[in-house]
Structure 1
């Protein structure tokens, strides 16, 4: 670890150039930085269309958007805008581009470094050596770095550790309740608000990648059961074509009685509106995706289905948890605070691969074998408590 720093920056730039979930999990870091530097001005750099999770965040004075694939002209404009404007850049993603932005923006930097393979065979050792060489320049330009650990270290802990160089005692980072800050809610569209009735459950079946999907027939059984219990079901989804199609496919399997109790909100809500919807729900059920992290941040009872992803790294953070690690690596059912994580069977779970075929459009046997009854029993426990 680097030596303790007494730096008191006046302007700080947070950099998170990835997906909306990666932006949301920086909010505990931002809150802790505010405790450290109550008078500093905070700016945030991220990809255009991915920053709605910061809507209404009072700690952020300015949001800077960039394309995920900027051309030369956009790079030039952005570099001119950033050049040495900040006392400190906090690089929350290990990409070369994020570090380049940090290098341009500030004289001092802290950053996350890419993870190393866990195995011990020759191939993994080779990958480790290559990764270390790629990280060397990033370490050189930073006053402090934190290594990713995809199995043992939670992503919230990873981000918070970026500040440990500013604490004499590292443990101070984790002795108070830690919370994720959701975006400020916005009113629902009249079309959805007029249909909504209590009690309702929000169900979000669509992940970013196919290998995190749960089978259609399982969703059908679960929704039929929820309707039988007297719940209205709101099916949420992003505006992406595959997510809209997934909701359509699930609804097509339902009987007429269930269909009457289902609202299809696919592509109809902004992130702040989704937050407002989830806050009013009796329960949220979803796969391993960013909206599930939003649900947990909204303090709604959240049940999530995990396959390949280690919950110890990216499980939705239970608000006000004190400590560095809320979850076990492997546990068929675990509940911490308002979050319940369910995993399917298999000694390979979680593998952290892209499904059984290790590619984005793969299936995941662990999710295929996670029965609706396991989810129903988890719902009954959560609602009874």
Structure 2
């Protein structure tokens, strides 16, 4: 039996100081921890505006929000709020700040250690060596750590393995169905509901970064085809200007007849409302972004367009999957459960770089070569056309 398997914490803090998708993928960890400690009180610390993915989660008693760039006063306030209030902290991101919060908050910590995959350049190797040095203090303050594997270990499994030390049989973690818990559904505004004309398909074109974008003309082709099948198309997007502009650009390419069957909900829905909308759809198509993970968690047939990101690391989890790895590293089309992941051609796919030029505004040739016919075929299979 593991030395610490009998630990019975009364208060536990989960820390995920990144994007909303990173919050969502902690929910299997939370569920498994709840099974291990049914009477413990669970709190969650994350960035302000990023915790809506936990709305209605019955395992979380309290959420704590902080700025992504807090000032001295906010740091001090958070310090006194957290100081040694918890028996155990799960640090689910490898950042220095997340570990500092864990050190302040809890007497015992387990956490994720970052790094860089073995690169092809000396620059990559230098980054990895620097990361290894930065990890030394994190290991020193932690009871147990798990290393990131950006190509071969799924992020869901990465986080579940934080529980390894508390289980007599660690393989039991993966022998039961693993599911992502979406936020509780919330009523959609009447103005949008009145425009819905099922059957409809939800499409989410906007990623957080440009190198994950699919070409505008491809969205035009896909939407035109979907409307010809008798489906209404619902465009989804965040309130960010770049996403609003992207949806408007797509709409400008459509002919009048097609555009009359398209509803643009950009910036008008909360995450919980987006979940309700997606649950009612016959299918969802989206790029590599958090809403695509939400769609998969809602059990809607989900088509995910992947470019540089390894699906083996961050592919949307097919709910109820049993095992450690749902996906292959490279496959033009692969379907597991309700999720279909599509990748473009090329031996460099997936590279895990920020596009071909490795910066946020870069293009990704693999996405440029992922043609609409491939997506249409996946939609036919998902909807049994």
Deviation at 1:121, TM superposition (A): 5.6
2:134 maps to which residue? Answer: 134
Give the Cα separation in 1 of the matches to 2:121 and 2:254: 49
Native 8 Å contact 1:220 1:250 kept in 2: yes
Quote the residue 2:359 is aligned against. Answer: 359
RMSD: 1.1
* Paired position in structure 1 for 2:211: 211
Where in structure 2 are the equivalents of 1:1-385 lying within 5 Å? 3-119=3-119, 122-384=122-384
Unaligned runs of 5+ in 1: none
**Contact 2:206–2:237 (CA under 8 A) maintained in structure 1:** yes
Partner SS for 1:43? strand
How far apart in 2 are the matches of 1:316 and 1:46? 21
Contact 2:117–2:149 (8 Å) recurs in 1: no
SS of the residue 2:268 aligns to:
coil
Task: Output the CA distance in 2 between the equivalents of 1:368 and 1:313.
Answer: 22
Deviation per residue, 1:284-309 (Å, 9 max, x gap): 00000000000000000000100000
Deviation at 1:199? 0.2
Q: How many positions carry a matched residue from both structures?
A: 384
Residue 383 of structure 1, CA deviation: 1.3
**In the aligned structure 2, how far is the partner of 1:14 from the partner of 1:127?**
28
| Deviation for aligned residue 1:125 | 3.6
Q: Which moved more, 1:109-118 or 1:306-315?
A: 109-118
The 3-state SS of whatever aligns with 1:249 is: helix
Q: Distance in 1 between matches of 2:177 and 2:5?
A: 24
Cα pair 1:4 1:168 within 8 Å, conserved = no
- Indicate conservation of the 8 Å contact 2:307/2:364, yes or no: yes
Q: Is the 8 A contact 1:209 1:360 kept in 2?
A: yes
Counterpart CA distance in 2 for 1:244 and 1:116 is 34
Q: 1:327, 1:6 → 2: CA distance?
A: 34
TM-score (norm 1): 0.98
Shift of 1:127: 2.7
* 8 Å contact kept, 1:117–1:127: no
CA contact (8 A) 2:115 2:132 kept: no
SS at match of 1:45: strand
1:324-364 per-residue CA deviation (whole Å, 9 max, x = no partner) reads: 10000000000000000000010000000000110000000
8 Å CA contact retained: 2:53, 2:271: yes
- Separation (CA, whole Å) in 1 of partners of 2:365 and 2:161: 34
TM-score (norm 2): 0.98
Q: Distance in 1 between matches of 2:89 and 2:240?
A: 33
Query: 1:368/1:121 Cα in 2 relative to 1: closer, same or farther (>3 Å)?
Result: closer
